[in-house]
């Protein structure tokens, strides 16, 4: 445990035992956020426990909770680092502990952790209409960048098998394939490494990894989840978390394969969060019939901005 001041909540490392309390705080805090933003009818559901298990394991020593003197959970922050890419989310502070500098402490400790562990990108996302959050993060030297645009398309119109050269990662060559994915991402995207998230996805049976080859060389990969995001719901969609491709052709091959997999799995749609920096890919997706569903504002800390991908790179800063 870690204590900054006897009068402040105590920080502790999150475990799976904290998931029910995290879920309650997550739902209450974000439902209240929507109410403040003029959407009182929105009720944020609890997330599937396995999704929180993934988030805690993926954040590793950056998965934190804070408890008050009675042991009640009053805040959490999932601080992620994928190679040199660092980001925070989700994070929440109980309403009664807001406005007293505690939220600033929660975020500042995340920044310190990412700096000390070697992140060269430090960022987070918030809703563009939430001016309170934007102002709060700006006061901590985060600066607004591009939008992350949530897009979706039905799987029903996809036809045929997975394209030649694209395959699902298989168990016999898992370690070799993950090593190749790490080499590809670090080479084309300045030190990004998503193999922790990929391994956890396979271990927890949340989804899978698609690999795309040119000849015998790996040219791209895509990480996706199919487990329902909201607790108590049935399978609904295939959600893309990470994508790295040497060019647009490979990116489109991977995306086409997800629609086929979604249809085979009786999932209604594919969901993708496209960063606004990928302008060509975004234009292609609109032309193909992908629909814009939601937007988030991506913010990065001064001096720790995003690196450009030499090819096509998408990294979802949500769980």
Per-residue model confidence as pLDDT tens digits over 65-84: 999 999 999 999 999 999 99
| Alpha carbons 305 and 307: distance in angstroms, whole number | 7
Q: Which range in 15-19, 38-42, 233-237 is most confidently predicted, on average pLDDT?
A: 15-19
The pLDDT, as a whole number, for residue 206 is: 95
**Distance (Å, rounded) from C-alpha 135 to C-alpha 214?**
46
Q: Which two tokens stand for residue 75?
A: 């805040």
How would DSSP label each residue in 5-47? -TTSPEEEE--GGGHHHHHHHHHHHHHHHHHHTT-TT--PPPB
**Burial group, residue 191, by CB count within 10 angstroms (0-12, 13-18, 19+):** middle
Q: Would you state the structure tokens that stand for residue 127, as one six-digit string? A: 């809703």
Provide the sign of the torsion angle of the four alpha carbons 46, 274, 309, 214, taken in this order.
positive
pLDDT at 7: 60
| Confidence band, pLDDT 50/70/90 cuts, at residue 1 | very low
Rounded to two decimals, the pTM is 0.93
Q: What average pLDDT is seen over the chain?
A: 93
Confidence of residue 308 (pLDDT cuts 50, 70, 90): very high
Averaged pLDDT for residues 297-310: 97
Q: Tell me which residue of 1, 38, 22 sits closest to 94, measured CA to CA.
A: 22
The yes-or-no verdict on residue 8 having pLDDT over 80 is no
161 falls in which pLDDT band (50, 70, 90)? low
The number of angstroms, rounded, from the C-alpha of 1 to the middle of its chain's C-alpha atoms is: 26
pLDDT at 169: 83
What number of residues does the chain have?
319
pLDDT of res. 110:
98
What is residue 157's predicted lDDT score, i.e. its pLDDT? 59
| Residues pairing with 298 in the sheet | 125
To the nearest whole percent, how much of the chain has pLDDT over 70?
95
Helix 195-203 crosses helix 49-59 at what angle (to 10 degrees)?
A: 150
pLDDT score, position 6:
45
Q: Which helix (H) or strand (E) holds 166?
A: strand 166-168
Residue 189 class from Cβ within 10 Å (0-12 exposed, 13-18 middle, 19+ buried)?
A: buried
Q: Identify the CA nearest to 246 among candidates 238, 254, 258, 236.
A: 254
Peptide bond connecting 90 to the previous residue in cis, omega within 30 degrees of 0: yes
Q: Is residue 175 classed as helix, strand or coil in its secondary structure?
A: helix
Distance CA 123, CA 137 (A): 10
Tens-place pLDDT, residues 219-273: 999 999 999 999 998 889 999 999 999 999 999 999 999 999 999 999 999 999 9
Which pLDDT belongs to residue 319? Answer: 84
Q: Is the pLDDT of residue 5 over 90?
A: no
Mean pLDDT within 149-155: 96
Task: Give the pLDDT band (50/70/90) at residue 162.
Answer: low
- CB 93 within 8 Å of CB 75: yes
- Give pLDDT, residue 160: 58
**80-136 per-position pLDDT tens digit:** 999 999 999 999 999 888 878 899 999 999 999 999 999 999 999 999 989 999 999
Angstrom distance (rounded) from CA 71 to CA 73: 6
């Amino acid at each position: 445990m870690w204590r900054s001041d006897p009068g402040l909540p105590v920080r502790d490392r999150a475990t799976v035992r904290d998931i029910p309390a995290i879920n309650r705080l997550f739902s209450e805090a974000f439902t209240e956020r929507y109410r403040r933003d003029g959407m009182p009818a929105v009720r944020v559901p609890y997330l599937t426990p396995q999704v929180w298990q993934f988030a805690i394991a993926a954040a590793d020593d950056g998965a934190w909770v804070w408890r008050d003197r009675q042991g009640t959970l009053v805040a959490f922050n999932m601080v992620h680092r994928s190679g040199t890419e660092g980001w925070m989310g989700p994070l929440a502070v109980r309403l009664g502990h807001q406005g007293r500098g505690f939220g600033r402490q929660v975020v500042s400790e995340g920044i310190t952790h990412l700096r000390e562990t070697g992140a060269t990108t430090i960022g987070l996302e918030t809703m563009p209409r939430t001016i309170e959050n934007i102002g709060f993060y700006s006061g901590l030297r985060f600066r607004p960048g591009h939008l992350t645009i949530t897009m979706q398309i039905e799987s029903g119109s996809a036809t045929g098998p997975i394209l030649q050269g694209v395959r699902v990662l298989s168990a016999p060559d898992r370690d070799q394939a993950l090593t190749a994915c790490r080499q590809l991402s670090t080479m084309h995207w300045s030190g990004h490494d998503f193999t922790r998230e990929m391994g956890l996805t396979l271990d927890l049976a949340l989804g899978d990894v698609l690999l795309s080859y040119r000849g015998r060389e790996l040219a791209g990969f895509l990480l996706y989840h199919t487990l329902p995001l909201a607790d108590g719901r049935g399978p609904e969609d295939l959600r893309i978390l990470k994508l790295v491709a040497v060019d647009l052709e490979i990116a489109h091959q991977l995306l086409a394969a997800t629609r086929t997999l979604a249809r085979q799995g009786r999932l209604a749609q594919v969901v993708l969060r496209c960063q606004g920096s990928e302008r060509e890919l975004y234009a292609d997706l609109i032309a193909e019939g992908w629909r814009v569903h939601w937007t988030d504002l991506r913010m990065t800390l001064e001096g720790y901005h995003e690196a450009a991908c030499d090819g096509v790179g998408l990294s979802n800063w949500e769980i």
